[in-house]
Structure 1
Amino acid sequence: MAGASSASERDDTWLCGSSSENGCVFRCRWVECTALLSCTADLQHHILNDHCAIELQSGEWSCGVIGCDAVLIDEDHARRHMLFHCFHADRQQRGREVLVGSSYTKQMTDCGHTTSSGLVFDGSPLVCEWDTCMVAFDDMFDFVQHCDEHMTALGQEDCVNNVFICRWSNCEQTIRNKNNLRWHIRHHSGDKPVACPFCGRFFANGTKLVDHVIRKIENGRLKCFLCQKTFLTERLLREHGRRHVKNYKCPFCDMTVETPSDLRDHISKRHSNSRPHQCEKCPKAFHQKSDLDRHMVVHEDRYPFECEFCPQSFKWKRQLNMHVRLHDKNADPYTHLCHLCPTKFKNGSNLSKHLIRKHQLSVPSGHSRFQYKKCADGYLRLQTERYESEKLAAQIEAIQRGEKSALVVNSDNHTSTWITIDG
């Protein structure tokens, strides 16, 4: 198989190509170990018996898998951690099968993303929170199978008013059918059916994995005319284009957004005085926990984003991106252009000040700042178009008392072209 042999060329993956001599598909990733295993069960047996049997020193030891280095505090923790490595390897094998079966990716030898053997798993017991079950597991394979058995056991009597209700702890979401509920439970259990055989990242389905791999292909790309991002297939471009389409309007202002969660976030930030998430280190408070988490970086003495060309490091990736441009002698320091005059700016903040002071523009109603989009020439200019679904356009048309929605509307001296498209 082309995909299998491609994966075998890499030394930073659990997978190796199928061999007519030994039929192996997995390689042990433990430091200085060269064992080749034929299936997940053999990999588990090898890892647990040949590597996990090491005595803990000073109450803890580090995972020996290359690139992981997780600190393991006791034997139970070590067992769960290593079993999850085996689960990860199995999902990478499934991912390789998906890529080999796709005409777009069967010849791929890399995904272009950084490989990591580290696990997003704290080593805690895996507890089933379905109804009153609360059974704990060490092995992700057993945990996933157990959760699936709950789904299989559901009968018609569990369908109330033509919907199933999720019984997982603190979740009462209604699902239309049992198959969709089965997929929903994976969000709670943490099960991801496939992982990238090259970089190791987990995905919810094979389609997302294929999209992940082909995003790095440079030739034959289709370009989004709104943001200049490029895509290999029309389906990817079409799915991306939906992100530019507004589907929901704020009931308190003229703001329109793409998703219900965006609308909730907007109302919380712009139309609510509640700031329940208080910083413990300064007087600032935030509407959402995610905002507080981003803010906490200010109080941390960490600079995780390092420049590959010099010793400097930064707290935010945006700072690093701006800095890296300084190392490119051919890079234009001016990234933002005024759409009303030839003036150029190094960032959006200065362009916003220019638009307000020089051209007397105001930030549109409902927005906290101007929005900029990348044009075909690579510069960012003021976004003056808003793309709406037909349903939203009809709602706005009703609000405007019968006026057509495909009009040029002046809002606070800021001109916006409202264009309706089929969402």
Structure 2
Amino acid sequence: MAPGSKFKNSEMILPCEWEECLFVGKRMEEFCDHVAGHLKEYLQHPLETAEHYRCWWRNCEFGAKDPRELITHVNFHSYHAKLKFVGSRLRALHRDLPACLLTSRSWHQLPQTSEEFVCNWENCNVTFNNPEWFYQHVAHHAYATEEKTVTDQKKAVYCHWKDCLGVFKGKHKLWDHLRTHTQERVVACPTCGGMFSNNTKFFDHVKRQVSEDKQIFVCQNCHKHFASERLLRDHMRVHVNRVTCPLCDAVCTSVSSLKAHTRYRHCDERPFRCHLCDSSFKNAYDLHKHVETHNDSDAYSCDVEGCGFTSRTLQTLKQHYKRAHVV
């Protein structure tokens, strides 16, 4: 299920907080269009004496250097309103959650945003000034990605984000992974406004604030107290976040990453075997690249009109496209 789809056909509560506006949106499209109207009106008649373009969202003190920066910032307020609504729904569904005790001073504090959001999916580079449309666009890449046969007829999807070689079992796993590239947040605390990349981190946010007498899980290394066993386990990673490889100078952030490093760099084990020859590889990505070399003919052709280039491997076709057709 693509991000935000569970609210796509249901009404939301999205209050506009531009100056004294009392509008409440029920759909993201409607809400974003409404906020865009405020921006258009303001940018047509900015204060001539102002040194910057001011955000008029209530209790926000942001000032932009140019209109594009302001538009991106205000659009993030719209997206933030949606995330706070998601947080309020989660709180209503989990009434046993403790209340957030943090101040609401950070209610409208947003992360530093650039002038635009850029999609770094291969051969895309489309830009957006609204995070809602940007994240939906990236999700479409994930769900439109073609599955490839890796080994033993098992299917996998590949991440085509710039400089990423990730391989995943399904499209939903790929979409989940893409949030590490886009830094997408999916829920915000309706009390303090803090944003989180998944529901669990939001739940942890409020659970960390329970009174000390309810924090019954104790770290045996530093004696810190935690409200749940899972929070304690997460904390324990701090004590092993610098694990040095005994075979080289590499430093890993966890025991699991050290095991992966050792398996790839220092072991000869190659569990991924080619079903067409005797070759074997350490990971699925290397096997996939190898299997393509078994094509008896040029299996891939350039789809640019007038270009007759063909190749035996997808990787070679991608390199051709970048050299010949990307300006």
TM-score range, shorter chain: 0.5 to 0.7
1:239 is the counterpart of 2:231: no
Amino acid in the other structure paired with 1:66: R
Q: Indicate which of 17, 34, 53 corresponds to 2:41.
A: 53
Secondary structure of the equivalent of 2:164?
Answer: coil
Matched residue, 1:125: 116
Counterpart in the other structure of 2:203:
210
Confirm or deny that 1:195 pairs with 2:182: no
Q: CA deviation at 1:212?
A: 0.5
The letter for the 1-side match of 2:135 is: V
Q: What is the letter of the counterpart of residue 220 of structure 1?
A: K
Q: Which structure 2 residues correspond to residues 97-176 of structure 1 after superposition, within 5 A?
A: 97-105=89-97, 108=99, 110-111=101-102, 115-157=106-148, 160-161=150-151, 163-176=156-169
Residues 66, 258 of structure 1: CA spacing in aligned structure 2 closer, same or farther, 3 A cutoff? same
> Which residue number in structure 2 is paired with residue 76 of structure 1?
68
Output the CA distance in 2 between the equivalents of 1:255 and 1:188.
24
2:79 aligns to what? 87
Contact 1:56 1:75 in 2 (8 A): no
Among candidates 178, 203, 208, match of residue 185 of structure 1:
178
Against the structure 1 CA distance between its residues 120 and 146, is the aligned structure 2 distance closer, same or farther, given a 3 Å change threshold? same
Partner Cα distance (1:76, 1:160) in 2:
44
| Structure 1 residues 208 and 69: alpha-carbon distance in aligned structure 2, compared to 1, 3 A threshold | same
**Kept in 2: contact 1:68–1:119 (CA 8 A):** no
Report the 3-state secondary structure (helix = DSSP H, G, I; strand = E; otherwise coil) of the residue aligned with 2:210.
coil
Determine the structure 2 residue equivalent to 1:226. 221
Structure 1 CA distance for aligned equivalents of residues 99 and 41 of structure 2? 37
Structure 1 alignment gaps of length 5 or more: 1-22, 264-423
Deviation at 1:103, TM superposition (A): 4.2
Deviation at 1:151, TM superposition (A): 1.2
After TM superposition, list the pairs within 5 Å mapping 1:316-327 onto structure 2: none
Deviation at 1:63, TM superposition (A): 0.9
Q: 1:147 to 1:258 in 2, by over 3 A?
A: closer
C-alpha deviation, 1:80, in angstroms: 2.3
Pick the aligned partner of 1:27 from 10, 15, 27: 15
Map 1:363-378 → 2, pairs under 5 A? none
Structure label with greater radius of gyration: 1
In the alignment, is the contact (CA less than 8 A) between 2:147 and 2:156 conserved in 1? no
> Contact between 1:221 and 1:232, CA under 8 Å: does it hold in 2?
yes
CA drift at 1:41:
4.3
Matched with 1:4 is none
Mapped to 1, the partners of 2:241 and 2:22 lie a distance apart of: 54
Higher relative contact order (CA 8 A, sep 6+): 2
**8 Å Cα contact 1:194/1:206 also seen in 2:** yes
Corresponding residue for 2:290? none
Report the residue type matching 1:25 in the other structure. Answer: I
Report the CA distance shift for 1:170/1:261 in structure 2 as closer, same or farther (over 3 A): farther
Compared with structure 1, are the counterparts of its residues 245 and 50 closer, same or farther at alpha carbon in structure 2 (3 Å cutoff)? closer
Structure 2 residue runs without a partner (length 5+): 1-10, 259-327
Change (3 A) 1:145 1:189: same
Q: In structure 1, the residue corresponding to 2:214 is in which secondary structure?
A: coil
Task: Give the alignment's TM-score, normalised by structure 2.
Answer: 0.62
1:210 and 1:111 map into 2 onto residues whose CA distance is: 14
> Aligned partners of 1:204 and 1:144: how far apart in 2?
13
Q: For residue 35 of structure 2, what is the amino acid of its counterpart?
A: I
CA–CA distance in structure 2, aligned partners of residues 67 and 261 of structure 1: 44
CA distance in 2, matches of 1:260, 1:67: 44
Identity of matched residues, %: 28
Q: How do 1:366-405 residues align onto structure 2 when only pairs under 5 Å count?
A: none
Please say if residues 67 and 118 of structure 1, whose CA atoms lie closer than 8 Å, have aligned partners that are also in contact.
no
Contact 1:68–1:117 (Cα < 8 Å) also in 2: yes
- How big is the alpha-carbon RMSD for the aligned residues of Structure 1 and Structure 2? 3.3
Letter of the structure 1 residue corresponding to residue 22 of structure 2:
A
